[in-house]
Structures are given as C-alpha cells and as structure tokens.
C-alpha cells in the first residue's frame, strides 16, 4: 500500500500534466465540429509529436541541472539534413535516416564535450554552439526546399489501421527505446544524481562525466528524430531561426509544465511529453473557440505564464525567510 502511495507521489508532476492534458483534449474534441475522428486526432498528433520529441531532448540536460539552448537548432539542422539525405530509393532513404540520427548525436556530443571537458556553463555553451549549428543548417539549405522519400513520409504522418496515428506510436517507441532504458541505466540515475547533488554523486562513485556527456548526445539524437519527422510533415527543409527559437523556448516550457525541476535532479521525459501536448492543445483550443487570430499569441503567452506561476505557491508556505533563498 505504502509502495503504491509513494510511487504515485513520486510521479505527481507527470500525472498532473496528463490529467490536465486529458481534460483539455476532451474539451477540444467536444467542441470540435468534426468530433473525435481519426483525421482530427492525427492532425493534432503530428504537430504535438514534434514538440514532444524536442521537449524530451530538452529534459535530459535539464535533469542534470544543465540546459540545451541549441536543441531547437539541432531540430532544424537535422530537418535540413533530412531534406537532402532521406530521399531516393527506400534503402537509400533509410541509410539517410541513419546518417541524420548520427549527425544529431554528433551535435549533441560537441555540446557534451564542451560542457564536460571544457567545463563551460551549459547555457552559454549551447547558445554559442547553436549559432554554429544554425550556420551549418544554412549552409546545407540556403533557401527552403528539398524533398523527402514520400513512402516514409506518408507512413510516418499517417495512421495505422486507419485509427492510430503512427506519430503517436513512434513517440511511444522512442520513449520505450530511449528514455526508459536511459532512466533505468547507471547513467540515467547518475544524471538525476548530478542534478540533485553533484558532490554527493561524485563521492558515491557515480560516473558523473560520462553521464553528462551522454545526456547531451541523447538530446541531440532525440532532436534529430524530431527533425526527421518535421521533414516528413513539411516535405522540405528550412534553416529557419524562428522555428529553432520557438521550439527551444517551447521545449523549456513543456519541461517545466511536465513537472521537471529546472534546477535539476527531479523529473521525467514522459512528463515533458504531456507538457508538450498541453502546449499544443492550447493552440488547438484557441482554434475551436474561434478566438480571433490576433489574440492567440497573447493568450498563449498568458497561459504559459500562468502555468509556470503555479510554482510560486511554495513561497507563501515558507515561514522562515531564509528558506526561500534555497
């Protein structure tokens, strides 16, 4: 009994995010003119999965107390790369996917090396490396365009048995193949330990350096999966600084809404997935409620601000003024 209670308590953040998402999605479906149809869900999913992947990518460095400001850029960079490499015959395209995934991981490795071996602050490191990646993206694709293997794209953005969106299945597969093993590996635990108390982790013999390196590599890999899916959605590549910026910022918001502490040590990538779903559903809700498009950016910003302000409740419980400085 106590085991169950504690397990629930440890997952309160993601569970709350899931509950909010279900509520919002239910409202969305209830008011949507077409109701719950496979087409509606698939459209909603394909948008949400992209942010969900980038948010998962962001979660990993955040768990260690770091941050990846280049995650959106890697997403865009791999999009550009995929629009060149994931083309031609099926075997060629599959090889292209592999190459793009490797490229994304390499970008993450560069971040990891600078943070671990160079001992620079993650935020500044990834801001600067983001500029480099953006330059490379621009070099690969100076103007929007390119193509993607259409069988792969149609499969990835379509539905299975005309009901389940493939994007959702892909997301689930990524969670099971990347996040779950990571979280249960020595390094996943090390990542949380670093974010919680790096010194305690170090004296306990936790492989802190390797774990830090790994979170950035996996972050790059996850962003690359997102980049490939983006290509499947748009059938093209574009080195857009706006897209990169928006995804980076939204990924941070999704991570926070999903119950992960920005200070590190606490959180799950699954929570971030729900956080991303919530952010995307807000947009959809604005659509079904016919909010004038001009009001949408303001409304989105206000909801974001409100969502993160929930964390302020803590302050009003604190009775010792010194404790709020921790």
Partner 1 sequence: MPDPSILLEMRHVTKRYGGTLALSDVSFAARAGEIHAVMGENGAGKSTLIRVSSGVTDPSDGELLYRGEPVRFTSPLQAVRQGIVCVFQELSLVPDLTVAENLSIVDGPRRFGLANRRAEIERARALLDSVGCGDIHPLELVRDLTLSRRQMVEIAKALGRKPRLLILDEATSALTSEDVERVFAIVRRLRDEGVGILYVSHRMQEIEALADTVSVFRNGRHIETFKAGSKPVGDIVQLMIGREVESYYPPKSTAPRGETALKVDALSWGRQLKGVDLELHKGEILGIGGLDGQGQRELLLALFGALKDVGGTVTAGGQRLRLSGPTEAMAAPLPIALIPEDRKFEGLMLPMSVKDNMSLAALKRFSGPFGIDAGAEAAEQQRCLKELQIKAPDLDAAVSTLSGGNQQKVVLAKWLMTAPGILLFSDPTRGIDVGTKQEIYRLLRRLADEGAAILFYSTDYAELIGCCDRVLVMYGGRVTRELAGDELTDRNLLEAALDVSPMRRSA
Partner 2 sequence: MMATPSASSWTLAMNRFGIDRPVQIAIGCIIALLAAGAVYSPAFLSQDYLLQQLQIATFLGVIASGAMMVVLLGHIDLSIPWVVTLGAMMATGLSGWIGPLGVVLAIPFGILCGALVGVFNGIGVAYLRLPAMIFTLGTNAVVQGLLVLLTGGSAPQDKATDAMRLIAVGRSFAGIPNAVLVWLVVGGGMIFLLRRTRFGRAVYAIGNMEAAAYLSGIRTGRIIVACFAFSGAMAALSGILLAGYSTKAYQAMGDSFLMPAMAAVVLGGTSILGGRGNYLGTVCGVILITLLQSILSIMQMPDAGRQVIYGAVIIAMLLVYGRERSTRV
- The site for partner 1 (CB under 8 A) is made up of 2-3, 6-7, 10, 181, 184-186, 189, 192-193, 195-197, 199-207, 265-266, 318-322
Kindly tell me the burial class for residue 122, based on how many C-beta atoms sit within 10 Å of its own C-beta (0-12, 13-18, 19 or more).
buried
Least CB distance from residue 312 to partner 1, whole Å?
16
Where do the DSSP E strands lie in 134-280?
Answer: 159-160, 164-165
Choose among 212, 213, 226, 210: nearest CA to 174: 226
Partner interacting with residue 181 (select from partner 2, partner 1, none; CB below 5-8 Å by kind): partner 1
Least CB distance from residue 206 to partner 2, whole Å?
11
Partner interacting with residue 297 (select from partner 1, partner 2, none; CB below 5-8 Å by kind): partner 2
Whether residue 121 contacts residue 58, with contact meaning beta carbons closer than 8 Å, is answered with no
Residue window 1-40: x/- pattern of binding to partner 2, with contact defined by CB under 8 A: ----------------------------------------
For residues 299-325, b (16+ Cβ closer than 10 Å) or e, as one string? bbeebbeebeeeeeeeeeeeeeeeeee
65: left (phi over 0), alpha (psi -120 to 50) or beta: left
Question: Residue 120, interface with partner 2 (CB under 8 A)?
Answer: yes
Nearer to partner 2, 1 or 294 (CB): 294
Residue 47: both structure tokens together: 């948008």
Of 11-19, 40-48, 111-119, 154-162: span binding partner 2 (CB under 8 A):
111-119
Of 38-46, 134-142, 149-157, 161-169: span binding partner 2 (CB under 8 A):
134-142
Of 30-38, 84-92, 96-104, 313-321: span binding partner 2 (CB under 8 A):
313-321
* Helix/strand/coil (H/E/C) assignment for every residue in 200-237: HHHHCCCCHHHHHHHHHHHHHHHHHHHHHHHHHHHCCE
Least CB distance from residue 21 to partner 2, whole Å?
19
Distance CA 182, CA 120 (A): 24
Whether residue 71 contacts residue 249, with contact meaning beta carbons closer than 8 Å, is answered with no
Distance CA 49, CA 250 (A): 13
Pairing of strands 164-165, 159-160: antiparallel
Partner interacting with residue 143 (select from partner 1, partner 2, none; CB below 5-8 Å by kind): none
Member of 27, 123, 180, 288 binding partner 2 (CB under 8 A)? 123
Partner interacting with residue 302 (select from partner 1, partner 2, none; CB below 5-8 Å by kind): partner 2
* Ranges within 137-166 binding partner 2 (CB under 8 A): 137-139, 142
* Ranges within 207-266 binding partner 2 (CB under 8 A): 208, 241-242, 245, 249, 252-253, 256, 262-263
Nearer to partner 1, 32 or 209 (CB): 209
Distance CA 162, CA 173 (A): 19
Choose among 111, 225, 229: nearest CA to 178: 225
Least CB distance from residue 150 to partner 2, whole Å?
28
């Amino acid at each position: 009994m106590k085991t169950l209670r504690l397990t629930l308590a440890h997952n309160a953040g993601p569970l709350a995010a899931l509950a909010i998402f279900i509520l919002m999605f239910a409202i969305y479906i209830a008011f949507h003119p077409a109701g719950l149809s496979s087409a509606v869900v698939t459209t909603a999913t394909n948008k949400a999965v992209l942010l969900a992947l980038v948010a998962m990518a962001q979660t990993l460095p955040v768990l260690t107390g770091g941050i990846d400001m280049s995650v959106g850029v890697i997403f865009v960079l791999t999009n550009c790369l995929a629009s060149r490499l994931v083309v031609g015959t099926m075997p060629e395209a599959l090889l292209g996917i592999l190459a793009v995934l490797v490229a994304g991981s390499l970008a993450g490795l560069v971040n990891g090396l600078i943070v671990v071996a160079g001992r620079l602050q993650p935020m500044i490191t990834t801001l600067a490396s983001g500029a480099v990646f953006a330059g490379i993206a621009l070099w690969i694709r100076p103007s929007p365009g390119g193509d993607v293997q259409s069988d792969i794209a149609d499969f990835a953005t379509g539905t299975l048995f005309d009901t389940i969106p493939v994007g959702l299945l892909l997301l689930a597969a990524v969670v099971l193949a990347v996040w779950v093993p990571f979280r249960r590996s020595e390094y996943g635990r090390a990542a949380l330990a670093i974010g919680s108390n790096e010194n305690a982790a170090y004296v306990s013999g936790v492989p802190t350096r390797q774990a830090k390196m790994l979170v950035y590599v996996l972050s790059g890999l996850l962003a690359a999966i997102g980049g490939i899916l983006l290509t499947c959605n748009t059938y093209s590549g574009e080195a857009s600084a706006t897209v990169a910026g928006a995804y980076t910022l939204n990924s941070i918001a999704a991570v926070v809404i999903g119950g992960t502490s920005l200070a590190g040590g606490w959180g799950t990538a699954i929570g971030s997935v729900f956080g991303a779903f919530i952010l995307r559903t807000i947009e959809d809700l604005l659509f079904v409620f016919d909010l004038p498009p001009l009001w949408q950016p303001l409304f989105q910003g206000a909801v974001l601000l409100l969502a993160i302000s929930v964390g302020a409740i803590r302050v009003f419980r604190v009775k010792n003024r010194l404790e709020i400085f921790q």
